[in-house]
Each structure stands twice: as structure tokens, then as C-alpha cells.
Structure 1
């Protein structure tokens, strides 16, 4: 499929999705959200892809929010549908992907951009990045999971301060609060994210998928995270990756995992 607003590159089992709307600071509109959904879905089913990195084109922005012009005149029902569909096809979809997704945050990550980064499993920020959820300054609240994921990452008090003040924080503050995993110089963001991905692609894809599912279970209503872990742990014993991993360990060699 050809894309209008995103670019995809693949190397060494690592796929990089670049949101490519620099003239709009990579803002998320309907087309971009649909394209991202399609790209993530295709890459998840591609056995040659072990890690996905998502970033923004240019040096100014990862994603500087949603495209406000698209919903400025929406009704209540249209607003509900906008949030519900976006969460379903992109933000929740990314969070529950069975392969790791790394957000390489270059520049501004605001509103829907920060929400996309928070839906990713790991976040790496350039040292010039700025993050925030400014929706209340528009008479809105975060609608793509921001009110839920931000408290999970940095705690209720800090999350409320960020949301209610609508102010941006620096990359260093994001690191201090646990919002991002790493902060690196802007010119090292891509190489650092790729190095992190390289560490992951050496490990069992099937086990990684089970680990993501088990960790996510702890944050879902009416789901017992411990029970999910127990069942997922047991399922690992039925995989080819488990047989290969244990055999390689006993034979004192590197395992060659297939994800089966």
C-alpha cells in the first residue's frame, strides 16, 4: 500500500515509521491515523519485523497534536466517535501490539502526539523535546487515552498538574518523572533507538509478545494481571522459541528464534 502521510523503512528486522507532515508539524489527522493503523497492522503480521520505531519527520516535531481544523465544528456525538475510533484503531492498537514499539520523540510531542508516544511500549526523547497535553486550553480534555496513560506513567498528582495547567515539560523533566525511558542528544536519537531495538531483536518474539500482554493486563479493568502472567508463562512452554532457547542455553550457544 502506498501512503500519503507516513514513510516506512526496514532494516535488520527493525521497521521505522516516520509521520511525514512536516508542514503541519506532523499533526494527526484522520488519514494519518488510518495509515498508521494499516502500517502497524501489516508490520505486526510480518514475521521479519521484530521491533517498530515510530518518529516524526524533521527536527521540530514528533507529532504536535491532532489536526484541530478537522474537528473544530464537531457535535457531542461526533466528538465521542472521534475519540472512540482513534483509541480503537491506533492508540489501544499500538499498546496491545505483540511486538515492541519504540517512540523516538524528536521535538514537540503535544496532545495526540504525546498520547501516541505513551501508547508505545518505550519512549526515547531528544534533549530538545517538549511534551504536554494542552487540550484544556482549547476547552477539551485529552481524548486518545491521555487521562489514563499519563497517570499510569508518572502518577496521579503530576498527571493532573500537566493536564490542568496545559503546560509543556522538557525532556529532562519527562525523564525525571518517568514519562520517557531515555533522553539523548538530538543527533543521536535515531542511532540510540536502533541500538535499543537491536537488543530486543535478539530475544524470543513469542516471549516478548507474552510479556507485553502480561504487563498490559495489570492496567486493564476486570483483568487479573497475575492470572494473565501465569497462563502466558505456561503457553511459552508450548512454543518452538522455548525449545530453542533452552536448548541453546544448555549447548552454550546463541539461540536462533523464529517467533513460533
Structure 2
């Protein structure tokens, strides 16, 4: 995928992650196509750092992967006895204490959580394979635009594990419990047509139209006033956890803030 981000100086460029910023739009790119953008703890730390480095001017964050695959998931080197250079292997982590293991997984999860912040809208442009951790990274974003060759799959259960990188909550929210269970337990591929039909993807387009479609979507997302977008995202994100009456109250409170702001009487 070609991208205008290559014309920008990167804010961050390490461990398979590049962050560029162009005014209100930031682009986070997975940059190891030779390994199909396989993920590692170092990559997760770089993703977390990218979130922390976002300037306040950014309203939309685009997530993409170089090469034919968005991300083929966890680098299997993590399960080798030697692990990665300078990193404990997953086998070593399993032999440690419960608190240490929990803290380590929580640290990994941070790479997948900041995309949901109310002050930004995140869009994943997904082509080719998005497997396991790759699938969960796409699910971390607010919106997903996929190429017609996309192949989502949640393979953790097939390996004797569970999806633990924050993907289960959005997956159930998007496709429902029964389909989410079936996708996870069977580990099967979900293609572009099914992704759109079930709500996993907002749009599916031919691969050569993916970049242009994401650019058009970004322009549309930037059209509305920022504060209204932030309030709307917060309302929608919290809707499932609120009762109907609590949601009504949240709408009133948010609208009150917007009206006071527009009238110039906000505190």
C-alpha cells in the first residue's frame, strides 16, 4: 500500500512501528512486511509509545500494515525457549508468579487500549491476513475498512490459549456472543463479505482502492466539530453499559454541554 505518510518525518520509528503526524491525522504503520508484520512485546511497547506521543491536534488515527498482510499475529519466536533477544520467553513468563504474569499481560494490553480514547477516532485499513493479535489490533480501532482479500481469524483457542489482547469485548459487541464464540473456537477465516455483513468491517473495497477509501472516510470524520464528535463517541461507547434511563440522562448532560458551549455560556 502506498501512503503519503512516507513524505513526513516520523515522530516514532522503531521495533516495527512508525508514527507520522499530518496536522489532525496521525498514521501508525506496522513496518515489517517480510514477517507479515508479526507482533512481539517490543512492537507492543512501541505501539503504546505511539499513543503517548500523539499531539493534541490529532483527531483521527489511521492504522495500517505494510505489505500483503496487515498482521499475521504473534511472532512464534515468543514461544521458543530462548524467546526474543533481551525478552523473557512466554515459557519463562508461565513459570513466574501470578502477579508478575498478570502485570506483564496488562502491559501488553496497553498497546491495544488507547485507540478507544474519546478524543480520537481510530480507523484500521486492513488487507490480507489479520490473524490473532492482528485481528485484535484491528478490533481495537473504532472503524475498520478492509480490502476484498482480507482474512480475519482468531487462532488463540486453537493453540490452547485465549484472545487476551482486548479483542473479546469489541468482537462480542460487533457480532454477538454466539458468532464470536464460533469464530474464536473454530479459528476459521472471516472474509470481507462476511466482515461487512456481521459488522466487523464498515466497508470492503478492492485492494487498490483501500488507501483512497480511507482518505475519503478520514475527510468525512473530520468534517464535524471536534467537541461534538468527542461527546458523541463517549455517548455511544458507554451506551451498552448504561440502562435506557441512564443513557437518556447522559444524552441530556452531553447536549447541555454542547448548547452552553455553542451559546458561549460554558464554564
TM range (shorter): 0.7 to 0.9
**What displacement does 1:238 show?**
4.0
Which residue does the alignment assign to 1:72? Answer: 90
Which residue does the alignment assign to 2:137? Answer: 116
Which residue does the alignment assign to 1:8? Answer: 19
Unaligned runs of 5+ in 1: 245-260
Measure the CA separation in 2 of the matches of 1:97 and 1:69: 35
Which residue does the alignment assign to 1:98? Answer: 119
Q: Does 1:235 align with 2:246?
A: no
RMSD, aligned α-carbons: 2.3
Measure the CA separation in 1 of the matches of 2:164 and 2:189: 18
Contact 2:12 2:50 in 1 (8 A): no
Q: Does 1:191 align with 2:201?
A: no
Which residue does the alignment assign to 1:39? Answer: 50
Measure the CA separation in 2 of the matches of 1:159 and 1:196: 27
Give CA deviations for 1:174-214 in whole Å, capped at 9, x if unaligned: 11111100001111111100110001112111111111111
Measure the CA separation in 2 of the matches of 1:127 and 1:185: 5
Aligned equivalent of 2:35, options 9, 14, 24 = 24
Measure the CA separation in 2 of the matches of 1:3 and 1:160: 36
**How many residues are treated as equivalent by the alignment?**
238
Q: Does 1:172 align with 2:202?
A: no
Which residue does the alignment assign to 2:147? Answer: 126
Which residue does the alignment assign to 1:85? Answer: 107
Measure the CA separation in 2 of the matches of 1:220 and 1:27: 34
Unaligned runs of 5+ in 2: 1-10, 79-88
SS at match of 2:70: strand
Give CA deviations for 1:47-101 in whole Å, capped at 9, x if unaligned: 1x22111010112x112212343353131735433432233x2222211241111
Measure the CA separation in 1 of the matches of 2:255 and 2:39: 37
Measure the CA separation in 1 of the matches of 2:72 and 2:225: 35
When normalised by structure 2's length, the TM-score is: 0.81
CA distance change for structure 1 residues 157 and 24 in 2, over 3 Å: closer, same or farther? same
When normalised by structure 1's length, the TM-score is: 0.83
Give CA deviations for 1:131-190 in whole Å, capped at 9, x if unaligned: 011001111010012222211101111111101101111111111111100001111111
SS at match of 1:3: strand
1:47-66 matches, within 5 Å, as 47=57, 49-59=58-68, 61-66=69-74
Contact 1:99 1:205 in 2 (8 A): no
SS at match of 1:172: helix
CA distance change for structure 1 residues 236 and 38 in 2, over 3 Å: closer, same or farther? farther
Give CA deviations for 1:14-73 in whole Å, capped at 9, x if unaligned: 222111122221122222222222222322x431x22111010112x1122123433531
Measure the CA separation in 2 of the matches of 1:221 and 1:68: 40
SS at match of 1:83: helix
Contact 2:12 2:18 in 1 (8 A): no
